[in-house]
Chains A and B, each alone.
Chain A
Amino acid sequence: MITARGLVQTFHTGRGKNAKEVHAVEGVDLDIAEGEVVGFLGPNGAGKTTTLRMLTTLLRPTAGTATVAGYDVVAEPVQVRRSIGYVSQVGATFSGAYAGDEVVDHGMLYGMSRADAVRRGQELFERLQLDGLWKRMPRNMSGGQKRRLDVVMGLIHDPTLVFLDEPTTGLDPQARANLWQHIEGLRSTHGATVFLTTHYLDEADALADRILIIDQGRIVAADTPDNLKAQVAGDLVDLEVADAAQVAVAAERLAAIAEGVERDGRRVRGRVARAGRAVPGLLRDLEAAGVALDSIEVARPTLDDVFLTLTGRTLRDAEAGEGEKEKVA
């Protein structure tokens, strides 16, 4: 459904001495099959949205090729646009217009008749739990309702491939969970291929069959969430020792079964293969050595751990630190 080879996007900013080349995307390859739900995960500024904009014909690639729904994004942009639905980060409607009018006009720009656009729009309003909001202005909707309206706009012409750019950013947990259900429904009831960008690990984990991790304009991993997590060596075992004087002993005992043991105040943590089996023995060891614990936590690897393993940074650090990679031209 989507194939890309060596997609590159370079922006030029500033002039004269301040001229910079920003390498937003540096050679992205993609192969996405029909019916797949693919999560494009990475920190802010990693190149997610830029890649998405190239695939949706909003941005011409600096180099590389891409076909979307069988059409070349540069040579056949109109055919691409006809085949895809796009839900952008910023919305798609006038905040002061009636939701229903916006949806119908948008559908008509896809060549639908007014009657078809109304029928399809009302059907989508019902499906996305917007019933009764046809005559409501987006500015008077909740964040979740507004995002669902954006999804309706993207689906009005019944596309088989849907691009969602950070669909749940800024939503409260309940609205997020609700939108997740609808995104899952896109494939289960609609058979659509879904390509979504996110910087939420749990979102990619919950929704995607396959996750592409992008960092600094390059894809650093592409696999199922489970396979990606399996790349991280073991579960995280985190001990909180009751007496600070016993931290060294606890670290020594943990090191017998764990890798990468770290100490942090009264806390000791390390990666343990099959923690479920190893931890009871560790607890007996610690008891025999007279080490009392305030708490013990065992955590399965998360995609954040995957990101850390792949890039050497946590996703949060990556967000807080550098954005797009900049090179002075």
Chain B
Amino acid sequence: MSFARESTIVFRRQIRMNLRNPAWVLIGIMQPVLYLLLFGPLLEPLVGSFGVSTDNAYTFLVPGLLVQLGLFGAFFAGFGLIGEWREGVIEAERVTPANRTALLVGRLMRDVLQLSVQAVILVALGYLMGMRGPIGGIVLGIIITLIVGGACAAASNALALTTKSEDVMAPVINIVMMPVLLLSGILLPMTIGPEWLQHLSDLMPFKYIVDGVRDSFAGSFGTSSVLWGAVWAVVLAALGTWWGTATFRKENA
């Protein structure tokens, strides 16, 4: 039986559960939407002084929120996996002849689809708030976000299957996510900070991704940050998928 068929069966079973509870898609997008509605207006008078590629507050903010959605939304995907493990679903699947990587890939397909729906909603709301950008740039920005989201979802699933406990997973995600959120320039550009903070943020791969998506939304395709953002997204996706695959394939998981 083909790998694609097995992944699709797992995906279909997962998406059926999601469709039964579509509210989760909306709950997942609440945080970035609130930032957009309640934080966006604060940026309007400030964005001109940031020295970034756009002077539109929403063209600046939406890409950051998009990456944030990819990070947070996908990282919480693993929580559902712990529930599945508790109900015996994971074990029942692992005892079938299906390729164990397909068990992960089917779930990642669900996460990426959910993320794309959320991304489209967020971008549409941003557009209503005044965001402007070339369609090609917006699509490219969303694609980069989806790649990063897939990476984070894979890592989150791996973490879930390793810890098998929400109580362990929640603090781990918090510890990892807070510095990522603060040092990636998601809400404000790092360039307005002191030099030491900028150097610190240079160590954060997600900063390059945020910069890349931001330039892409602003239509500045030629910049090196779009290239670096894409490169980092692909590198992280490879790492996340490798970790997730290794965990799902592990004999004793």
Contact = CB atoms under 8 A, between A and B. Distances in A.
Interface string B224-253: 000000000000000000000000000110
Nearest 9 interchain pairs by C-beta: A92-B92, A90-B88, A60-B251, A91-B88, A109-B96, A111-B1, A82-B97, A109-B98, A105-B13
Given A106-B92, A109-B97, 10 more contacts: A91-B88, A92-B87, A92-B92, A94-B13, A94-B84, A94-B87, A97-B13, A105-B13, A111-B1, A111-B97
A38 B61 CA distance: 65
B17 A94 contact: yes
Interface string B89-131: 1011111111000000000000000000000000000000000
A77 B100 CA distance: 12
A88 B91 contact: yes
Contacts of A79: 97
Contacts of A93: 87-89, 92
A101 B97 contact: no
Contacts of A92: 87-89, 91-92
Interface of A: 56-60, 77-79, 81-82, 84, 86, 88-97, 101-102, 105-106, 108-111, 150, 153
7 contacts: A92-B89, A94-B17, A96-B17, A109-B6, A109-B10, A109-B97, A109-B98
B199 interface: no
A92 B90 CA distance: 8
Contact of B92 (A59, A60, A88, A97): A88
Interface string B1-31: 1000010011011001100110000000000
B88 A59 contact: no
Contacts of A110: 96-98
Contacts of A105: 9, 12-13
Nearest to A85: B95
Contacts of A111: 1, 97
A90 B13 contact: no
A93 B97 CA distance: 17
A94 B152 CA distance: 24
Contacts of B94: 58
Contacts of B9: 105, 108-109
Contact of B87 (A56, A78, A91): A91
Nearest to B95: A86
A126 to B, nearest CB: 22
Given A96-B17, A105-B9, A58 B95 contact: yes
Contacts of B21: 96
Contacts of A88: 88, 91-92
Contacts of A81: 95-97
B143 to A, nearest CB: 30
Given A90-B88, A109-B6, A111-B1, A97 B17 contact: yes
B253 to A, nearest CB: 9
A126 B147 CA distance: 46
Contacts of A77: 251
A90 B16 contact: no
Contacts of A86: 92, 95
A153 B87 CA distance: 13
Contacts of A60: 251-252
Nearest to A84: B95
B110 to A, nearest CB: 13
B81 to A, nearest CB: 12
Given A109-B93, A111-B1, A90 B87 contact: yes
Contacts of B95: 56-58, 81, 84, 86
B84 A90 contact: no
Nearest to B2: A111
A93 B91 CA distance: 10
Residue of B1, B6, B84, B251 with most chain A CB atoms under a 10 A cut-off: B251
A51 to B, nearest CB: 15
A46 B61 CA distance: 58
A324 to B, nearest CB: 16
Nearest to A108: B9
Contacts of B6: 109
